[in-house]
Amino acid sequence: MLNAALTGNVAAGKSTVADWFSQWGATLIDSDMLVREVQRPGSPTLESIISRFGRGILNSDGSLNRSSLRSRVLSNADELASLNAIVHPAVARLRAAQIDEAHARGDQIVVNDIPLLFEVLDPKEFDAVVLVEAPVSTRKKRLLERGLTEDEARRLIESQSPSQPKRARSRIVISNGGSLSDLEMRAMEAWSELCELADSSP
């Protein structure tokens, strides 16, 4: 089984590529879905978040107000580090369990969609890393179109490591500075390479 990681800075197009990989046969493990699972109401992770940040970060139904918490931690590096220390270990345990399940089923290619791969994990844990990148100006425009303010978009982009140093540590780099059809073509080329790697893996 090939255990690959898919990453890319915010609004680079990673989620679109992840959807295609899933359609083409990958077992997709989505970090954002894992985060939502470990932060569900009543979970130990959410209780730890409440203890650290207070009940003001909850919605009226007791669920986590993710946008409120995001705005808060993006303006405070210490609070962001505290949140990561609570959430990331729980997500890592859940991811490992899902990888074990995929291996037991005999799945051929697992793609772990991990936005903060280089920031919080060791990319050497994976058989291959696929990086999706796009110019900062393009990513900022996409964030504004999603409803973020100029300040929120800037802080979100600055909270992640720049893309350039990640290139040398990635097996495959998909550039997304053009049209959707261009991105799909590059994604198909990347998928073909992952299939070749899977065929040659023990």
Helix-, strand-, coil-residue percentages of the chain, each rounded to 5: 60, 15, 25
Burial of 129 (0-12, 13-18, 19+ CB in 10 A): buried
Dihedral sign for Cα atoms in the order 166, 167, 170, 172: positive
pLDDT, tens only, 113-162: 999 999 889 999 999 999 999 999 999 999 999 999 999 899 899 988 99
CA distance 107 to 27: 7
- Strand order of the β-sheet with 109-113 is 27-30, 109-113, 2-7, 128-133, 172-175
What is the reported pLDDT for 120? 87
The encoded tokens of residue 173 equal: 């780099």
- Helix H or strand E encompassing 30: strand 27-30
Domains of the chain (ranges plus CATH)? 2-200 (3.40.50.300)
Instruction: Please tell me the pTM assigned to this model.
Output: 0.91
What is the reported pLDDT for 131? 98
The encoded tokens of residue 178 equal: 């053009």
| DSSP 8-state assignment for residue 137 | H
CA distance 116 to 6: 10
Let me know: does 32 contact 113? Beta carbons within 8 Å: yes
CA distance 202 to 193: 16
pLDDT, tens only, 22-64: 999 999 999 999 999 999 999 999 999 999 999 999 999 999 9
**Is pLDDT above 90 for 77?**
no
CA 174 from centroid of its chain's CA atoms = 15
**Is pLDDT above 90 for 75?**
no
Burial of 100 (0-12, 13-18, 19+ CB in 10 A): exposed
Dihedral sign for Cα atoms in the order 5, 32, 39, 147: positive
